[in-house]
Structure 1
Amino acid sequence: MKEYAIPMVPGPTTVPQIILEAMSKDYPSPDLEMEFLDLYNQTEEMLKRLYETNNRVVIHTGEGMMALWGALKSAIRPGDRVLALASGVFGYGIAEMAASIGAEVKIYGVEYDQTLKDWDEVEKAIQAFRPKMITAVHCETPSGTLNPLEMVGLLKQKYEVPLFYVDAVASLGGTPVKTDEWAIDLCLGGSQKVLSAPPLAAFVAVSPGAWDVIKQVGYVGYDALLPFYDAQEKFYFPYTPNWHGVAAIHQAVKMIFDEGLDVVFQRHETVASHCRSELESMGLKLFPARDAQPSPTVTAVYVPEKFSWSELDRRFREKGLATGGSYGPLAGKIFRLGHMGSQASMELVDKALKVIREVVTSS
């Protein structure tokens, strides 16, 4: 596989050497070694700090979609009502996932270049539908947007909705995720985005109320949350844990706290603001609408009219820059820069911007 001098795809992000080294220690049989259980427990406590929660955190072996599917299948049954708040590929996709499980799904949707903001309409949807679960995506990576979730949490509590399910895979670690304050019951994360670890682990912060529902549903597939309820207490995991993934997360979160959480958040904001300002100075049009909230972890930009996406991508890569396209209705229309985790670097972003300027200003 070709390596690029300027890696700016919005995940998986570049893995720092210190994380690769943390994965080199061998636990011959992790589900039998107390040393591994200690590492798992320590990693959970660190993730709880990152999530700003007192809730338990389950660490799955698998990519971020493991968390999305596992939390849905663990908490809803056919016929359960799910209100999906959607503003992009993943928001609408989660609605489709819930429907495939047999849930009765209602979508409150906005355009892909927008973020949630009409709270009166959201409240009306909750009042009328009375869902068992509300779903939302914090960072819509394919759109470069960040949905505010505090008001959703308040409405969830006001109408006593049992479950609030949030995809925070591309935001956790790069911007505040206030799990308890926002009343999130199932908060999903992944190792390959802001944490800059390989795509080996997914994790879910699970509230006490969510555990009650999970026990009632009783789902026990490979991606199930239920077997993790007492896995640490009994030291009996539902499958052999991937110690590489847990070790990688442990080191990744340690790096964030060593730098300082507020410092890390500010680094992401500063780099994102600089990136967008420079792109606009080149005459490029940012994708999210002016009244939408952009994400500090990824920037989406319209492909200039004189290029197809495939041609633009080819020219970038010839100069050592790897960016990302998008998906669904946005495929071929926008490209994305992932300034998250190890890639939230002013030096790296400036190198990327230099290449972009050279390409888009060429004849």
Structure 2
Amino acid sequence: MISYPIGLVPGPVSVPPKIREAWLTDFGSSDLEADFYDLYAQNQKLVQTLLETKESVVITSGEAMSILWGGVKSALRPGERLLAVASGLFGEGFADMARAIGAEAEVVAFPYDDVPDPGKVREAVRRFRPQVVTAVHCETPSGTLNPHLRELGEIAHEADALFVVDFVSSGGGAPIGVDESLIDIGLLGSQKVLSLPPSLSVSTVSARAWSVFERVGYGGYDAYLPWRRVPEVRAMPYTHDWQGMTALNVALNAIMEEGPQNAYARHARAASLCRTMGREAGLTLFPAREDICSPTVTAFNVPDGWTWPELDAALRKKGLVAGGNYGSLDGRVFRIGHMGSQADEALVKRGMEVLGEVLRSK
């Protein structure tokens, strides 16, 4: 397997040695041991602090897509309505999930290089009257960060709809403020800022959401309801990942020791350096405005005279691996991931120097 010394992909990010060590320790059975439930509770409290919420926290095994699906299936019955606020690929994906379970879905769409307009969202909510409104904080393929979570939360609550937010690739790298933003279901993945493998998913769940979950009654593998009283009842729906939960504890405590505000500032510095050096190398940002760029990922247009496969191959020869793209952005936009362990100015500087060298070579 090929290893690249300069890893700047937008996830899964590089896993630091202190987190990898968690997998070198053997434990007992996670669904039987009191120590595991104590660890689970510790992680819940740390997540509450990081995401600024007093609501419930659920931590499950599986990559973040599992909780996106679980949230939709737990919150909607067939025939009910979901409005997906979308300025990118992942925002649109919520509508596809809703339709797949027999719900009605509508997308209020905005350009991929921009962010949602709350005024247009309010119009759509009043007309469509959904039970669920979804949004994405960081559209990773587009490199944008949605600054309107609080406004969108207010709009959803005005319609008595649940507000579901994917902050999979921004949580821990940018302020979320779950309670301030009126988020009913918040979705976070382990493989982005937390710098773990893609093995755990973290959710915040409001009291409003639990009431809806009870009404819907979904009970599949990815359901939320069976987790409501973990760890109080000392029982889980399935055997959990003790090593992963230990690694999560290491990652969360590291952010707390650094201080969340300091972590956010570190991400902002790495992002600013990436964009400054990118412009100096002749690159142009994909987002229409720099003020909507995410601190965790930067999206650049593939420069004239290059195809993405050519540029990617040239970068890999120099030991740098960046991120390609999906859908309509495939081949047009590439990404530098500076989140979690990769929000390191020395690493970003090294990577952008290589990128500049490659661009000047042609």
Under TM normalisation by the shorter chain, which class is it? over 0.9
**Residue type at the aligned position of 1:325:** G
Q: List runs of 5+ in structure 1 lacking aligned partners.
A: none
1:190-243 Cα deviation digits (max 9, x unpaired): 100000011110011000010000011111111110100123222110000011
Q: Distance in 2 between matches of 1:231 and 1:195?
A: 22
Q: Distance in 2 between matches of 1:259 and 1:50?
A: 12
Pairwise CA distance, 1:291: 6.6
**Residue type at the aligned position of 1:215:** E
Query: Secondary structure of the residue that 2:275 maps to in structure 1?
Result: helix
- Correspondence list, 1:1-363, <5 A: 1-116=1-116, 118-148=117-147, 149-157=149-157, 159-290=158-289, 293-363=292-362
- Whether the 8 Å contact between 2:23 and 2:244 is mirrored in structure 1 is yes
**Residue type at the aligned position of 1:341:** G
Pairwise CA distance, 1:344: 0.3
1:15-57 Cα deviation digits (max 9, x unpaired): 1111112333322211111111111110111011111111111
Q: Distance in 2 between matches of 1:286 and 1:302?
A: 6
Q: Distance in 1 between matches of 2:256 and 2:324?
A: 31
Q: Distance in 2 between matches of 1:222 and 1:86?
A: 27
Q: Distance in 1 between matches of 2:222 and 2:250?
A: 24
**Residue type at the aligned position of 2:99:** A
1:263-287 Cα deviation digits (max 9, x unpaired): 0000111110111111111111111
Q: Distance in 2 between matches of 1:265 and 1:292?
A: 15
Aligned residue pair count: 361
Q: Distance in 2 between matches of 1:125 and 1:292?
A: 26
Query: Secondary structure of the residue that 2:2 maps to in structure 1?
Result: coil
**Residue type at the aligned position of 1:349:** V
- Cα RMSD after superposing both structures: 1.1
Pairwise CA distance, 1:94: 1.3
Q: Distance in 2 between matches of 1:55 and 1:277?
A: 39
- Whether the 8 Å contact between 1:298 and 1:336 is mirrored in structure 2 is yes
Further displaced range: 222-231 or 343-352: 222-231
TM-score (norm 2): 0.98
Pairwise CA distance, 1:162: 2.8
Further displaced range: 122-131 or 296-305: 122-131
**Residue type at the aligned position of 1:129:** F
- Whether the 8 Å contact between 2:22 and 2:244 is mirrored in structure 1 is no
- Whether the 8 Å contact between 2:129 and 2:159 is mirrored in structure 1 is no
Q: Distance in 2 between matches of 1:199 and 1:120?
A: 36
Query: Secondary structure of the residue that 2:335 maps to in structure 1?
Result: strand
- Whether the 8 Å contact between 1:134 and 1:161 is mirrored in structure 2 is no
Pairwise CA distance, 1:85: 0.3
Query: Secondary structure of the residue that 2:354 maps to in structure 1?
Result: helix
- Whether the 8 Å contact between 1:13 and 1:343 is mirrored in structure 2 is yes
Query: Secondary structure of the residue that 1:306 maps to in structure 2?
Result: coil
1:130-157 Cα deviation digits (max 9, x unpaired): 1111000000001100112121112223
CA gap 1:104/1:292 in 2 versus in 1, 3 angstroms: farther
Pairwise CA distance, 1:102: 1.3
Pairwise CA distance, 1:261: 0.6
Query: Secondary structure of the residue that 1:23 maps to in structure 2?
Result: helix
Pairwise CA distance, 1:292: 6.0
- Whether the 8 Å contact between 1:268 and 1:340 is mirrored in structure 2 is yes
**Residue type at the aligned position of 1:66:** S
Query: Secondary structure of the residue that 2:285 maps to in structure 1?
Result: coil
Pairwise CA distance, 1:119: 2.1
